[in-house]
A = this chain, B = another copy of it.
Amino acid sequence: MTDIAMIEAARARLDGHVRRTPLLSSPFLDEIAGRRIFVKPECLQHTGSFKFRGAWSAISGLSPEARAKGVIAFSSGNHAQGVALAAKLHGIPAVIIMPSDAPRIKIENTRAYGAEVVLFDRATEDRDAIGARLSAERDLTLVRPFDEPLVIAGQGTAGLEIAEQAAELGIDKADVLVPTGGGGFISGVSLALAAKAPGLTVHPCEPEGFDDVTRSLASGKIEKNARQSGSLCDAIITPQPGNITFPIMSKLCGAGLVVTEDEALKAMALAFSRLKIVVEPGGAVALAAALFHGETLGDTVIAVCSGGNVDGDIFRMALERNPD
Protein backbone atom coordinates (compact mmCIF):
# COMPACT_ATOMS: atom_id res chain seq x y z
CA MET A 1 0.00 0.00 0.00
CA THR A 2 1.36 3.38 -0.94
CA ASP A 3 2.34 5.61 1.97
CA ILE A 4 4.41 8.74 2.40
CA ALA A 5 7.60 6.69 2.80
CA MET A 6 6.98 5.08 -0.61
CA ILE A 7 6.38 8.50 -2.14
CA GLU A 8 9.60 9.85 -0.66
CA ALA A 9 11.46 6.78 -1.91
CA ALA A 10 9.97 7.36 -5.37
CA ARG A 11 11.12 10.93 -5.23
CA ALA A 12 14.67 9.83 -4.55
CA ARG A 13 14.52 7.53 -7.60
CA LEU A 14 12.98 10.28 -9.74
CA ASP A 15 15.50 12.93 -8.70
CA GLY A 16 17.29 14.31 -11.74
CA HIS A 17 14.91 12.50 -14.11
CA VAL A 18 11.62 14.37 -13.72
CA ARG A 19 11.00 18.09 -13.92
CA ARG A 20 9.94 20.07 -10.89
CA THR A 21 7.13 21.96 -12.62
CA PRO A 22 6.61 25.55 -11.42
CA LEU A 23 3.43 27.10 -9.99
CA LEU A 24 1.98 29.64 -12.43
CA SER A 25 -0.64 32.32 -11.92
CA SER A 26 -2.24 35.31 -13.61
CA PRO A 27 -4.24 38.21 -12.18
CA PHE A 28 -6.65 37.71 -15.10
CA LEU A 29 -7.50 34.19 -13.95
CA ASP A 30 -7.88 35.34 -10.35
CA GLU A 31 -10.38 37.91 -11.54
CA ILE A 32 -12.46 35.40 -13.49
CA ALA A 33 -12.51 32.97 -10.60
CA GLY A 34 -13.05 35.53 -7.86
CA ARG A 35 -10.28 33.88 -5.88
CA ARG A 36 -6.55 33.29 -6.04
CA ILE A 37 -5.65 30.53 -8.51
CA PHE A 38 -2.31 28.80 -8.88
CA VAL A 39 -1.70 26.31 -11.66
CA LYS A 40 0.65 23.32 -11.46
CA PRO A 41 1.45 22.69 -15.16
CA GLU A 42 2.25 18.99 -15.38
CA CYS A 43 1.82 19.42 -19.14
CA LEU A 44 5.41 20.67 -18.94
CA GLN A 45 6.55 17.32 -17.53
CA HIS A 46 8.54 14.96 -19.77
CA THR A 47 6.19 13.34 -22.36
CA GLY A 48 3.69 16.13 -21.70
CA SER A 49 1.95 14.73 -18.63
CA PHE A 50 2.37 13.67 -15.00
CA LYS A 51 2.30 10.03 -16.16
CA PHE A 52 6.07 10.04 -16.62
CA ARG A 53 6.43 10.28 -12.83
CA GLY A 54 4.51 7.08 -12.16
CA ALA A 55 6.11 5.24 -15.04
CA TRP A 56 9.60 6.13 -13.88
CA SER A 57 8.71 5.14 -10.33
CA ALA A 58 7.34 1.77 -11.40
CA ILE A 59 10.18 0.86 -13.72
CA SER A 60 12.94 2.09 -11.42
CA GLY A 61 11.29 0.17 -8.57
CA LEU A 62 11.48 -3.23 -10.33
CA SER A 63 14.19 -5.77 -9.55
CA PRO A 64 17.04 -5.53 -12.08
CA GLU A 65 16.14 -9.01 -13.40
CA ALA A 66 12.46 -8.22 -13.97
CA ARG A 67 13.29 -4.81 -15.41
CA ALA A 68 15.71 -6.21 -17.96
CA LYS A 69 12.96 -8.36 -19.52
CA GLY A 70 10.81 -5.33 -20.22
CA VAL A 71 7.40 -3.90 -19.43
CA ILE A 72 3.92 -3.84 -20.92
CA ALA A 73 1.14 -1.30 -20.45
CA PHE A 74 -2.42 -0.58 -21.58
CA SER A 75 -3.13 3.06 -22.28
CA SER A 76 -5.11 5.46 -24.42
CA GLY A 77 -2.16 7.73 -24.50
CA ASN A 78 -0.44 9.59 -21.69
CA HIS A 79 0.47 6.52 -19.61
CA ALA A 80 1.69 4.94 -22.84
CA GLN A 81 4.08 7.80 -23.55
CA GLY A 82 5.28 7.93 -19.96
CA VAL A 83 6.05 4.21 -19.86
CA ALA A 84 7.62 4.28 -23.32
CA LEU A 85 10.09 7.05 -22.49
CA ALA A 86 10.85 5.76 -18.99
CA ALA A 87 11.56 2.31 -20.48
CA LYS A 88 13.73 3.79 -23.22
CA LEU A 89 15.76 5.79 -20.73
CA HIS A 90 16.22 2.62 -18.67
CA GLY A 91 17.33 0.80 -21.82
CA ILE A 92 14.59 -1.84 -21.64
CA PRO A 93 11.85 -2.93 -24.09
CA ALA A 94 8.26 -1.71 -23.73
CA VAL A 95 5.07 -3.01 -25.36
CA ILE A 96 2.10 -0.64 -25.25
CA ILE A 97 -1.43 -1.82 -26.02
CA MET A 98 -3.50 1.14 -27.23
CA PRO A 99 -7.06 1.54 -28.50
CA SER A 100 -7.06 2.18 -32.23
CA ASP A 101 -9.13 5.37 -31.73
CA ALA A 102 -6.61 7.03 -29.39
CA PRO A 103 -5.44 10.49 -30.54
CA ARG A 104 -3.05 10.05 -33.42
CA ILE A 105 -0.34 12.15 -31.82
CA LYS A 106 -0.32 9.91 -28.76
CA ILE A 107 0.07 6.74 -30.83
CA GLU A 108 2.82 8.29 -32.94
CA ASN A 109 4.68 9.67 -29.95
CA THR A 110 4.53 6.35 -28.14
CA ARG A 111 6.15 4.68 -31.15
CA ALA A 112 8.69 7.48 -31.46
CA TYR A 113 9.68 6.99 -27.81
CA GLY A 114 10.77 3.53 -28.89
CA ALA A 115 7.90 1.36 -27.71
CA GLU A 116 6.25 -1.45 -29.67
CA VAL A 117 2.62 -0.34 -30.06
CA VAL A 118 -0.13 -2.99 -30.39
CA LEU A 119 -3.49 -1.49 -31.39
CA PHE A 120 -6.85 -3.06 -30.52
CA ASP A 121 -10.48 -2.23 -31.34
CA ARG A 122 -12.32 -1.11 -28.18
CA ALA A 123 -15.63 -2.48 -29.48
CA THR A 124 -14.61 -5.94 -30.62
CA GLU A 125 -11.31 -6.99 -29.02
CA ASP A 126 -10.34 -7.95 -25.47
CA ARG A 127 -7.27 -5.93 -24.55
CA ASP A 128 -6.69 -7.96 -21.39
CA ALA A 129 -6.45 -11.16 -23.41
CA ILE A 130 -4.01 -9.56 -25.83
CA GLY A 131 -1.96 -8.28 -22.91
CA ALA A 132 -1.97 -11.57 -21.06
CA ARG A 133 -0.76 -13.43 -24.13
CA LEU A 134 2.09 -10.99 -24.82
CA SER A 135 3.12 -10.85 -21.16
CA ALA A 136 3.29 -14.61 -20.92
CA GLU A 137 5.20 -15.03 -24.17
CA ARG A 138 7.88 -12.48 -23.28
CA ASP A 139 7.83 -12.43 -19.46
CA LEU A 140 7.01 -8.70 -19.42
CA THR A 141 5.99 -6.88 -16.23
CA LEU A 142 2.63 -5.11 -16.44
CA VAL A 143 2.75 -1.44 -15.43
CA ARG A 144 -0.83 -0.61 -14.47
CA PRO A 145 -1.91 2.97 -15.13
CA PHE A 146 -3.33 3.71 -11.67
CA ASP A 147 -4.09 0.68 -9.49
CA GLU A 148 -0.43 0.10 -8.73
CA PRO A 149 1.29 1.26 -5.52
CA LEU A 150 4.58 2.19 -7.23
CA VAL A 151 2.73 4.26 -9.83
CA ILE A 152 0.70 6.03 -7.17
CA ALA A 153 3.93 6.74 -5.29
CA GLY A 154 5.46 8.30 -8.39
CA GLN A 155 2.44 10.52 -9.02
CA GLY A 156 2.61 11.53 -5.36
CA THR A 157 5.92 13.27 -6.00
CA ALA A 158 3.88 16.05 -7.64
CA GLY A 159 2.08 16.37 -4.32
CA LEU A 160 5.39 16.78 -2.48
CA GLU A 161 6.23 19.62 -4.85
CA ILE A 162 2.84 21.25 -4.32
CA ALA A 163 3.33 21.06 -0.54
CA GLU A 164 6.73 22.76 -0.83
CA GLN A 165 5.56 25.37 -3.32
CA ALA A 166 2.52 26.23 -1.20
CA ALA A 167 4.77 26.65 1.84
CA GLU A 168 7.09 28.95 -0.16
CA LEU A 169 4.07 31.10 -0.95
CA GLY A 170 2.89 31.09 2.65
CA ILE A 171 -0.21 29.05 1.78
CA ASP A 172 -1.34 26.69 4.53
CA LYS A 173 -4.96 26.32 3.45
CA ALA A 174 -6.18 25.75 -0.10
CA ASP A 175 -8.27 23.56 -2.33
CA VAL A 176 -6.19 21.44 -4.70
CA LEU A 177 -8.07 20.40 -7.84
CA VAL A 178 -6.85 17.38 -9.80
CA PRO A 179 -8.13 15.98 -13.13
CA THR A 180 -9.13 12.42 -12.30
CA GLY A 181 -9.56 9.23 -14.31
CA GLY A 182 -8.77 6.02 -12.45
CA GLY A 183 -7.49 7.98 -9.48
CA GLY A 184 -3.76 7.20 -9.42
CA PHE A 185 -2.63 10.79 -9.68
CA ILE A 186 -5.05 12.18 -7.12
CA SER A 187 -4.35 9.31 -4.72
CA GLY A 188 -0.63 10.02 -4.78
CA VAL A 189 -1.15 13.76 -4.44
CA SER A 190 -3.63 13.27 -1.58
CA LEU A 191 -1.28 10.96 0.34
CA ALA A 192 1.59 13.42 -0.07
CA LEU A 193 -0.47 16.42 1.01
CA ALA A 194 -2.07 14.61 3.96
CA ALA A 195 1.45 14.04 5.28
CA LYS A 196 3.10 17.32 4.31
CA ALA A 197 0.38 19.98 3.99
CA PRO A 198 -2.74 18.79 5.83
CA GLY A 199 -4.47 22.16 5.39
CA LEU A 200 -4.73 21.49 1.65
CA THR A 201 -7.91 19.68 0.58
CA VAL A 202 -7.84 17.68 -2.64
CA HIS A 203 -10.85 17.45 -4.99
CA PRO A 204 -11.20 15.24 -8.08
CA CYS A 205 -12.39 17.00 -11.24
CA GLU A 206 -14.12 15.24 -14.12
CA PRO A 207 -16.00 15.94 -17.34
CA GLU A 208 -19.79 15.71 -17.45
CA GLY A 209 -20.98 12.20 -18.31
CA PHE A 210 -17.75 10.64 -16.99
CA ASP A 211 -18.04 11.59 -13.32
CA ASP A 212 -17.63 8.11 -11.83
CA VAL A 213 -15.26 9.29 -9.09
CA THR A 214 -17.45 12.21 -8.04
CA ARG A 215 -20.49 9.94 -7.83
CA SER A 216 -18.54 7.18 -6.10
CA LEU A 217 -17.27 9.58 -3.43
CA ALA A 218 -20.81 10.87 -2.91
CA SER A 219 -22.41 7.43 -2.62
CA GLY A 220 -19.56 5.78 -0.75
CA LYS A 221 -19.26 2.89 -3.21
CA ILE A 222 -17.71 2.37 -6.64
CA GLU A 223 -19.98 3.73 -9.40
CA LYS A 224 -19.42 3.21 -13.13
CA ASN A 225 -19.67 5.49 -16.12
CA ALA A 226 -22.48 4.69 -18.55
CA ARG A 227 -20.20 5.41 -21.53
CA GLN A 228 -16.56 4.45 -22.09
CA SER A 229 -15.65 6.84 -24.87
CA GLY A 230 -16.90 9.81 -26.82
CA SER A 231 -15.33 12.59 -24.78
CA LEU A 232 -12.75 15.15 -25.86
CA CYS A 233 -11.34 14.55 -22.38
CA ASP A 234 -10.05 11.15 -23.47
CA ALA A 235 -7.03 11.30 -21.16
CA ILE A 236 -9.10 10.91 -18.02
CA ILE A 237 -11.86 8.56 -19.14
CA THR A 238 -11.88 5.28 -17.22
CA PRO A 239 -14.80 2.92 -16.54
CA GLN A 240 -14.71 3.35 -12.75
CA PRO A 241 -12.42 4.23 -9.82
CA GLY A 242 -9.66 1.74 -9.03
CA ASN A 243 -9.83 -0.84 -6.28
CA ILE A 244 -6.68 0.56 -4.69
CA THR A 245 -7.34 4.21 -5.44
CA PHE A 246 -10.98 4.39 -4.34
CA PRO A 247 -10.31 3.73 -0.62
CA ILE A 248 -7.53 6.35 -0.67
CA MET A 249 -9.76 8.92 -2.34
CA SER A 250 -12.66 8.08 0.02
CA LYS A 251 -10.46 8.67 3.03
CA LEU A 252 -8.60 11.77 1.89
CA CYS A 253 -10.51 13.71 -0.80
CA GLY A 254 -13.19 16.36 -0.65
CA ALA A 255 -16.20 16.35 -2.98
CA GLY A 256 -15.65 16.06 -6.72
CA LEU A 257 -16.31 18.83 -9.24
CA VAL A 258 -17.80 18.27 -12.69
CA VAL A 259 -17.33 20.52 -15.73
CA THR A 260 -18.69 20.56 -19.27
CA GLU A 261 -16.54 20.00 -22.36
CA ASP A 262 -17.17 23.61 -23.32
CA GLU A 263 -15.79 24.75 -19.99
CA ALA A 264 -12.72 22.56 -20.47
CA LEU A 265 -12.15 24.13 -23.91
CA LYS A 266 -12.59 27.60 -22.43
CA ALA A 267 -10.03 26.79 -19.73
CA MET A 268 -7.63 25.62 -22.46
CA ALA A 269 -8.03 28.97 -24.23
CA LEU A 270 -7.41 30.87 -21.00
CA ALA A 271 -4.36 28.75 -20.20
CA PHE A 272 -3.11 29.66 -23.67
CA SER A 273 -3.67 33.40 -23.36
CA ARG A 274 -2.92 33.91 -19.67
CA LEU A 275 -0.37 31.25 -18.72
CA LYS A 276 1.23 30.44 -22.11
CA ILE A 277 0.83 26.72 -21.60
CA VAL A 278 -0.73 24.03 -23.78
CA VAL A 279 -3.30 21.90 -21.95
CA GLU A 280 -5.34 19.03 -23.37
CA PRO A 281 -9.12 18.89 -22.70
CA GLY A 282 -8.91 16.25 -19.97
CA GLY A 283 -5.96 18.06 -18.43
CA ALA A 284 -7.94 21.30 -18.25
CA VAL A 285 -10.93 20.11 -16.20
CA ALA A 286 -9.42 21.15 -12.86
CA LEU A 287 -8.62 24.64 -14.13
CA ALA A 288 -12.14 24.80 -15.58
CA ALA A 289 -13.59 23.84 -12.21
CA ALA A 290 -11.48 26.49 -10.47
CA LEU A 291 -12.56 29.17 -12.95
CA PHE A 292 -16.23 28.33 -13.37
CA HIS A 293 -17.34 26.21 -10.40
CA GLY A 294 -15.58 27.76 -7.45
CA GLU A 295 -18.68 28.42 -5.33
CA THR A 296 -17.83 25.71 -2.84
CA LEU A 297 -14.11 26.46 -2.74
CA GLY A 298 -12.05 28.66 -0.45
CA ASP A 299 -10.10 31.77 -1.38
CA THR A 300 -7.01 29.94 -2.65
CA VAL A 301 -7.10 27.19 -5.26
CA ILE A 302 -4.25 25.17 -6.76
CA ALA A 303 -5.42 23.59 -10.03
CA VAL A 304 -3.31 20.89 -11.63
CA CYS A 305 -3.15 20.90 -15.44
CA SER A 306 -2.30 17.26 -15.84
CA GLY A 307 -1.35 16.97 -19.51
CA GLY A 308 -0.85 18.79 -22.79
CA ASN A 309 -0.97 16.09 -25.45
CA VAL A 310 -3.63 17.53 -27.73
CA ASP A 311 -3.87 17.41 -31.52
CA GLY A 312 -3.42 20.77 -33.24
CA ASP A 313 -6.93 20.73 -34.69
CA ILE A 314 -8.58 20.36 -31.30
CA PHE A 315 -6.41 23.08 -29.84
CA ARG A 316 -7.29 25.39 -32.72
CA MET A 317 -10.97 24.68 -32.12
CA ALA A 318 -10.59 25.64 -28.45
CA LEU A 319 -9.04 28.99 -29.48
CA GLU A 320 -11.53 29.60 -32.27
CA ARG A 321 -14.53 29.02 -30.01
CA ASN A 322 -13.05 31.22 -27.30
CA PRO A 323 -11.47 34.29 -28.91
CA ASP A 324 -9.57 36.48 -26.48
Contact = CB atoms under 8 A, between A and B. Distances in A.
Nearest to A276: B308
Q: What is the oligomeric copy number?
A: 2
Give the interface SS of chain A, mostly helix, strand, loop or mixed.
helix
Residue from A19, A109, A273, A319 with most neighbouring chain B CB atoms (10 Å): A273
A82 to B, nearest CB: 14
A305 to B, nearest CB: 9
Contacts of A43: 276
A105 B273 contact: yes
Contact of A320 (B113, B269, B316): B316
A281 to B, nearest CB: 14
A273 B319 contact: no
Chain A interface residue number, banded: 35 or more
Interface in A7-61: 19-22, 24, 27-28, 41, 43-44, 48
Given A19-B22, A22-B20, A24-B44, A315 B272 contact: yes
Interface of A: 19-22, 24, 27-28, 41, 43-44, 48, 85, 104-105, 108-109, 112-113, 269, 272-273, 275-279, 308, 311-313, 315-316, 319-320, 323-324
22 contacts: A19-B24, A22-B22, A41-B276, A44-B275, A44-B276, A105-B273, A108-B324, A269-B312, A272-B278, A272-B312, A273-B312, A276-B279, A276-B308, A277-B277, A277-B278, A278-B278, A312-B319, A312-B323, A312-B324, A315-B319, A316-B316, A316-B320
